[in-house]
Structure 1
Amino acid sequence: MSLSFLSRFLTSGARRDPTHCAGWVLKPLAALIAVGIVWVTTIQIVQIYAMTIVFLGLMLALVFLSTGATASSNRDRVPVWDGLLAAASLAISAYFWFNNERIITRITLLDELTTGDLVCGSGLLLITLEATRRTVGPGLTSIVLMFLAYNLWGDLLPGVLGHGPIDYPHFLDVLAFTTDGIFGAPIRVALTYVFLFGLFGTFLSRAGGGDFFFDAAAAVSGRSPGGPAKIAVASSGLYGTISGSPTADVVTTGSITIPMMKKLGYSGAVAGGIEVAASTGGSILPPVMGSAAFIMAEFTGIRYTDIAVAAIVPALLYYFCLYLQVHLRSLKDGITGLDDVPALADTMRRGGMFLVPLLALVAALLIGYSPNFVAAFGTLAVVAVAMSRRETRFGLKGLYDILAEATLRIVPVVAACAAAGLVVGGLSMTGLGVKVADLIFLIAGSNLFVSLLVAAVITLVLGMGMPTPSVYILAAVLVAPALTKLGVSLMAAHLFLVYYASLSAMTPPIAVAAFAAAPIALANPLAVGLAAVRISITAFVVPFAFVYNEGVLLSGSTGQIVLACVATAAAAGCLCLATEGYWKRQLGVVHRLCFLGAGVGLMVPSYQVQMASALAAAIGGWLVWHGMAADRSA
């Protein structure tokens, strides 16, 4: 598979510039949608099905106004065909709106669909697929089409994969006229949590919060070995937790950090890989995390606050591993830090106020407010601190631009969530999720470790070319039931999938974040993806640690939690040393094997094994120290 084919496979339509003629319609509509969403999610109570109908229709219209049919489409002009598709989106939405009472009260599969239902339902299906292709690319669209084909013609398959006959009206009824399909949980999450937290992130970024995060990271770690790489790790993590998108994070922060790393001696692939790994972790970093965490809350019924709290230690372990491997690699390669970095005191004096919105988020979460109001409080806090200084203050024009930008940012997410709803609705029709769970049991038996390996591989494969929320949705439906049947808690099973859904953004061969970083790094995207995996390889084992020992998820007694966190952190450190093969000096094979064995053993939930592993780590450390002493005496 050539790189040119992969690039085309991931290519979506050209994004139009709203400052040109399209902006006469595009920006006002986007800003108006933002105001409406804030109103119906925080102030006015509206029937949820009717709300999702209007939201999806308006967002699909925005897709065709803001995104061309191909990557080479005109970015300044909206062709007549796209205008007609936008109008069709609004017309179909209007049909569903005027008939929403009948649709809500009808009995699925018993009350026949009318001719208007068949026409508008089919139109909605086709428009959703085209919107997905334009915004996300052919990768997700191809997967959705495969699942839809399975729904319609899977009855022709022999054996357990086959299912009962499903005719087209049955197929369309479930996908377009129930809350199990297009208007299901993914779209509801995009309408509420995802949009409101995206609005918070847009306000914070426009007010200067992103610059503050970068300067703070530079002030803390810029002078140490590999300073620019550590700046990338810290700033991308902080920015990623409010953006929720590894690709957007790479493009935003990577345009600064990748050239800085290359100047100090990192190759293009390694510089891009470090940025990709750092940006990917933002999707699992509380307090905001990414869209997948909100969808997890909707799917599982677990409060988002509980999910964010449980994700704290795994996220910190991810960045601990990444930071340590960057540090060791920088020492090994002799890469120094920066000479000219901002003073921490000056940075805090200029931008420390941007910590207030984050504290407001955390406080609202801990008090117990719903995610909608948590995002609203955080946004109000951003506005308050921005208005406190003349240089960060924005007027009505700035507010208008922010509202429009926030809406346009989530256009691809909405299309992906609508497409994911098609898959989820189809799975409920065919029972494929149960069959996949049975297949996992067939492969792994009752062995939890093998089942987790299979689950991780399936999630990473599903993630080829797909956005993180869509990957998690598919994995949650296909894989999670098998894990919970083996005794894994609901929290651990779904966080495991959220974690690997996020990691899929940087895992070759189709790593969307790596493809975004490649043009900035002037490097091969596959090389960037491989470098990202290598620099964060230890982080791939962290999910296994919290499945086997839920103390890492802050569950259990205080003693159990402390022991689990200390043991897992020590294990991660040992694995980093084994991976990089460097600690004050180049490590030999025996040293690395000692640290590898210690790292694996410290994650085993057995006191005896952990003690033996700690002894192995001590032996490895003694051997390194003894070798250094011998070198000094020589």
Structure 2
Amino acid sequence: MTDKTTPAEDDDHLIAQGVDEEPVEVNRRLYEGKSLMFITSFAALYAAFHMAALNGLSISEWTGIVIPFLPTFPMETWNFRIVHVAGALALGFLLFAGRIDFPEKGQETPILGYAAYALMIPALFSLGMAFSFAAEISSGKMWNGIDEGIRFSETYLFGLPLIVATAGSIILSWFHQRERSGLAAPDVVLAVCGAAVAAYLITIYGTLMRNSTGTPFAPIGISIAAVAGTALIMELTRRVAGMALVVIAAIFLCYVFIGDKLPGFLNSPPITWQRFFSQVYTDAGILGPTTAVSSTYIILFIIFAAFLQASKVGDYFVNFAFAAAGRARGGPAKVAIFASGLMGMINGTSAGNVVSTGSLTIPLMKKVGYHRKTAGAVEAAASTGGQIMPPIMGAGAFIMAEITGIPYTEITIAALIPAVLYFVSVYFMVDFEAAKLGMRGMKSEELPKFSQMVRQVYLFLPIIILIYALFMGYSVIRAGALATMSAAVVSWLTPYRMGPRSIFRAFEIAGTMSVQIIAVCACAGIIVGVISLTGVGARFSSLLLSLADTSQLLALFFAMCISILLGMGMPTTAAYAVAASVVAPGLVQLGIPLLTAHFFVFYFAVLSAITPPVALASYAAAGISGANPMETSVASFKIGIAAFIVPFMFFYNSALLMDGSVLDIGRAALTAVVGVFLLSSAVQGWFLGAVAAWFLRIGLIAAALLMIEGGLISDLIGVGIAAAVFAVQRIFHPKPDAAIPVRGAD
């Protein structure tokens, strides 16, 4: 069967074509020929392996044919997570170069390549020793961490070659130059090292030695393998996510060994490297909640997003948004809110969504009159908001469910009102900006035909099926699998029918897309491991409690600052995982309900993407709009200002998290919407059709905060202040404090 990929004849009216195509990173290798075939097959098999494992599919069970070395499902949990991380390491090192500059053919550094191939010898030797250990154990040999012969083998025959190959190849990869279409020798060695780590850990954890981690009985090989695995994870994270998370992880690792020398609440008991590393590659660290979520829910929804991309459903989402909202004043900005929120919810990264949808929406926003920094800021704020949009919440909901034990459906229901408040606030902000500048919408001939978009509304079916299945009680894994299959089925109603080739392509896209988030989650697991094994989280909780004795609001403000600080430069999942380990336990000890505490840190970890000075989403948008990055980040902070206030209201009014009677929840939602309207009016200086003077804007801020607070008395006072502002504006016509900027000014 061949895939039909010829677009319909009347597609020339569509604005979005390939808007959900993944951008090619500057350090990604672009293979050709047999190398390309190998890498694409590896990526597709890696993603398909997860789909099979998560849904319990086994070729051996179905056919009765036992194939040697083929994994049987369901796999043991730790083994599955180890393979999950090892596969991402191998694929990531082969896909992403250690440096961003690629030489022309003939200008490589062959001597470094030869040195790397020399390191292949200890890497393969270490891998062979791991398999030999497995053979010895399967033959009945008792394995422990005390036997001198075993310690010698693990230290000098497995561990030393592994460390030499890992450290040497990482350093060589920083300097080795290889053309973009060619395999780099150091990266191949690093992939083998990752396999050696996985082979050893699966072998040893398959014995009773799993229970010995953190004790003197733990085999020394576990600690050595964990050192190598930690180094591999941090190096891959550097390649795919930059230095921010790597630096934070390095600081936490240093803290393990110097914590006993630090004063005050930072002081921790002395920990040997053997004890720490024998535990960090367990479910207390790297194999803990972050990898648990990335190996199940995140990879599943990456596959779902890849199927949407392969079936061109993502293009339809954006075109539908343009058809529905493009004619409104400042139309492209309102389209960005809808499209970026929807796509950002699925893809799990604010900056990545900015690059994909922003390449279309930002130029159009500039075209209708938005300043370039505002255009970038709107896209950054909308893409960031996608991370708090249920039901997927950029995978944050799944990590929250894993950490807290609260049912996933309860989390998504609780997230609904805050998400609505955020996007309503952003909508008001861009609408008032458009009103001040006298903008128009886009012309009908510039937009997709709404009638045709409505006829294709069935393309929303995968999302609808996903939500319906989740709330009908299906597991997240089963719901995600059904939604993924429905995306392939729905594609047969479009010109982009998914056949075997497109399905293979979707799995290949998913494998490639998953590398970054898996590396980031594993690296975040290192930080979580440090926090849990040193007890610094508990001591931080004590600090919050002491602050709360002075002022509970001060403790919340301090928790907000730490959550934003920990989240800067990190994707949503890693930012929340770290903040949840450090800050949330302290908030719970303050008496804040568990769900409220975790939503509090989740929101501020997400908002770090638009918070100066390290605002990744804003910087990505500035790169497209051509604006100053810092100015764009300040503007996006301003547009998303409501999101910085609403989390404080969770503490004072739990009805915003669907906790209370229907009447209480409805009143809280309604008054909060009015509150964010007033807040947006105050920030933008535009209230009910007129520019507001400075003292009126102060009154609007006061009214907004009182309305968002949610109490009956505070609501009445807020309404009274808003009415007084309106009366003063209409009766006395106070002169605006600043001139309205010229439309389209740059």
Q: Same fold (TM over 0.5)?
A: yes
State how 1:45-444 maps to structure 2 within 5 Å.
45-73=74-102, 74-102=179-207, 105-176=210-281, 178-339=282-443, 340-349=446-455, 351-389=456-494, 391-444=495-548
Letter in 2 for 1:71: I
For 2:200 and 2:698, the matched residues in 1 are separated by 66
| Most deviating of 64-73 and 249-258 | 64-73
Residue 276 of structure 1: how far off its partner (Å): 0.6
8 A contact 1:34–1:403 mirrored in 2: yes
8 A contact 1:293–1:498 mirrored in 2: no
Residue 484 of structure 1: how far off its partner (Å): 1.2
8 A contact 1:20–1:76 mirrored in 2: no
Letter in 1 for 2:702: G
Residue 233 of structure 1: how far off its partner (Å): 1.1
Tell me which structure has the larger Cα radius of gyration: 2
| Structure 2: runs of 5 or more not aligned | 1-23, 57-72, 103-178, 737-746
Distance of aligned partners of 1:362 and 1:628 in 2 relative to their CA distance in 1, 3 Å threshold:
farther
Letter in 1 for 2:613: P
Residue 239 of structure 1: how far off its partner (Å): 1.4
For 1:371 and 1:217, the matched residues in 2 are separated by 27
Letter in 1 for 2:93: F
Distance of aligned partners of 1:630 and 1:411 in 2 relative to their CA distance in 1, 3 Å threshold:
closer
Residue 443 of structure 1: how far off its partner (Å): 3.4
Q: Name the Cα RMSD after superposition.
A: 2.0
User: Which of 521, 531, 539 in structure 1 is aligned with 2:635?
Assistant: 531
Residue 18 of structure 1: how far off its partner (Å): 4.6
What is the match of residue 569 of structure 1?
673
For residues 595-614 of structure 1, what are the alpha-carbon distances to aligned partners after superposition, in whole Å with 9 as ceiling and x for unaligned? Answer: 11111111234322221111
For 2:390 and 2:535, the matched residues in 1 are separated by 34
For 1:630 and 1:58, the matched residues in 2 are separated by 64
For residues 346-375 of structure 1, what are the alpha-carbon distances to aligned partners after superposition, in whole Å with 9 as ceiling and x for unaligned? Answer: 1121x3112111111111111111211121
For residues 82-111 of structure 1, what are the alpha-carbon distances to aligned partners after superposition, in whole Å with 9 as ceiling and x for unaligned? Answer: 111011111221112222212664323335
Letter in 1 for 2:266: L
What is the match of residue 744 of structure 2?
none
What is the match of residue 38 of structure 1?
51
For 1:260 and 1:388, the matched residues in 2 are separated by 30
Q: Indicate yes or no: 2:37 matched with 1:27.
A: no
For residues 592-634 of structure 1, what are the alpha-carbon distances to aligned partners after superposition, in whole Å with 9 as ceiling and x for unaligned? Answer: 1221111111123432222111111121223333357999xxx
For residues 415-434 of structure 1, what are the alpha-carbon distances to aligned partners after superposition, in whole Å with 9 as ceiling and x for unaligned? Answer: 11111111111111211001
For 2:307 and 2:434, the matched residues in 1 are separated by 35
Residue 51 of structure 1: how far off its partner (Å): 0.6
Letter in 2 for 1:492: T
For 1:208 and 1:376, the matched residues in 2 are separated by 18
Letter in 2 for 1:289: M
8 A contact 1:21–1:76 mirrored in 2: no
For 1:275 and 1:236, the matched residues in 2 are separated by 7
For 1:630 and 1:61, the matched residues in 2 are separated by 64
Letter in 2 for 1:15: R
8 A contact 1:446–1:486 mirrored in 2: no
For 2:238 and 2:186, the matched residues in 1 are separated by 16
Distance of aligned partners of 1:446 and 1:21 in 2 relative to their CA distance in 1, 3 Å threshold:
farther
8 A contact 2:548–2:590 mirrored in 1: no
For 1:111 and 1:451, the matched residues in 2 are separated by 40
For residues 221-274 of structure 1, what are the alpha-carbon distances to aligned partners after superposition, in whole Å with 9 as ceiling and x for unaligned? Answer: 211111111111111111111212111111111000111111222222111111
Identity in percent:
35
For 2:265 and 2:389, the matched residues in 1 are separated by 40
For 2:76 and 2:538, the matched residues in 1 are separated by 32
For 1:543 and 1:104, the matched residues in 2 are separated by 44
For 2:719 and 2:44, the matched residues in 1 are separated by 57
For 1:63 and 1:240, the matched residues in 2 are separated by 23
8 A contact 1:152–1:171 mirrored in 2: no
For residues 135-168 of structure 1, what are the alpha-carbon distances to aligned partners after superposition, in whole Å with 9 as ceiling and x for unaligned? Answer: 1111100000000000112111133311111011
8 A contact 2:345–2:389 mirrored in 1: yes
Letter in 1 for 2:252: F
For residues 186-218 of structure 1, what are the alpha-carbon distances to aligned partners after superposition, in whole Å with 9 as ceiling and x for unaligned? Answer: 111101000111111111122122222112211
Distance of aligned partners of 1:526 and 1:552 in 2 relative to their CA distance in 1, 3 Å threshold:
same
State how 1:490-509 maps to structure 2 within 5 Å.
490-509=594-613
